[in-house]
């Protein structure tokens, strides 16, 4: 069994994973099938950065050795803020609303005095928790994705999350007729999805545990930081952002 600490609803809890459920959680369906249009403000990773190289050249290869049909994320990124249809009036993310949001988000960044400059730190690489209704954790189960996760109180991470929260408040204030009251950033941490398992649900094996235990602490990850100098507003219909249209760069 894999054991991790995770921030949920303002507190840190211990979670255990003994089964990975890419099929039951609908992760496979969500990753390979088009969804309703979404908008995201994201930080794309530069392929020349050492952290990106570590993921693509070493970590992905280690996970591949488990022979669980691991599909790599090609456009590695960290999401500042995602806007999906359930956040929107009548769940209708139409082109007019997208235009309003694009203009409002641009105004938000134009009004900021500071340039985009974050040093993000990732503390562990692990199977992601499966969250069900109201973001509650499904007991002992992973959703079939693999993520790099950073705790929200590291300096660069803290500033990144704070910026996202400020953007949420700005959008609600300027476009309150469009956004629901429940609109918020998805999780309090920072994360980057490295890929997903394209397979039936499976039990965690000793080899699986051994592979992921080596990345449970930041000091065990050779390179665990990445520099972010800009953010991009993208429109997409795939969760892995494989078909993004870039709308604005900040």
Task: Name the pTM for this structure.
Answer: 0.90
Distance CA 209, CA 1 (A): 7
HSE at residue 126, side-chain half, CA atoms within 13 A, is: 27
78-88 tens-digit pLDDT? 999 998 877 77
Distance CA 80, CA 113 (A): 18
Distance CA 225, CA 228 (A): 10
Per-residue pLDDT band for 207 (boundaries 50, 70, 90) equals very high
DSSP string, 69-99: -EEEPSS-EEEEEEE-GGGBGGG---HHHHH
DSSP string, 147-167: EEEE-TTSHHHHHHHHHHHHH
Q: Determine contact, residues 216/4, Cβ cutoff 8 Å.
A: yes
The yes/no answer on whether domain 2-249 falls in CATH 3.40.50.450 is: no
Phi, psi of 211 (to 5 degrees): -65, -50
Check pLDDT > 90 for residue 15. no
Report the pLDDT value the prediction gives residue 34, as an integer from 0 to 100.
59
- For tokens 């892995």, the residue is 240
Report the pLDDT value the prediction gives residue 196, as an integer from 0 to 100.
95
Per-residue pLDDT band for 52 (boundaries 50, 70, 90) equals very high
132-160 tens-digit pLDDT? 766 678 889 999 999 999 988 888 999 99
Give residue limits of the domains in the chain: 2-249
Per-residue pLDDT band for 6 (boundaries 50, 70, 90) equals confident
């Amino acid at each position: 069994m894999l054991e991790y600490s995770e921030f949920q609803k303002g507190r840190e809890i211990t979670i255990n994973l003994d089964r990975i459920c890419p099929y039951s959680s609908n992760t496979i369906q969500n990753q390979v099938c088009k969804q309703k249009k979404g908008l995201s403000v994201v930080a794309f990773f530069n392929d020349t950065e050492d952290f990106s190289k570590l993921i693509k050249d070493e970590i992905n290869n280690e996970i591949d050795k488990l022979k669980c049909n691991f599909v790599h994320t090609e456009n590695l990124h960290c999401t500042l803020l995602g806007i999906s249809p359930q956040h929107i009036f009548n769940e209708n993310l139409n082109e007019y609303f997208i235009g309003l949001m694009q203009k409002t988000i641009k105004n938000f960044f134009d009004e900021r005095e500071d340039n985009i400059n974050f040093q993000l730190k990732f503390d562990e690489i692990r199977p992601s928790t499966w969250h069900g209704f109201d973001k509650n954790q499904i007991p002992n189960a992973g959703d079939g994705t693999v993520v790099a996760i950073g705790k929200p109180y590291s300096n660069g991470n803290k500033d990144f999350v704070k910026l996202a929260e400020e953007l949420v408040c700005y959008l609600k204030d300027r476009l309150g007729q469009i956004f629901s009251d429940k609109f918020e950033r998805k999780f309090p941490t920072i994360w980057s999805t490295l890929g997903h398992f394209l397979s039936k649900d499976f039990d965690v094996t000793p080899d699986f545990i051994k592979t992921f235990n080596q990345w449970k602490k930041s000091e065990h990850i050779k390179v665990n930081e990445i520099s972010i100098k800009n953010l991009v507003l993208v429109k997409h219909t795939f969760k892995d952002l494989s078909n993004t249209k870039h709308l604005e760069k900040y």
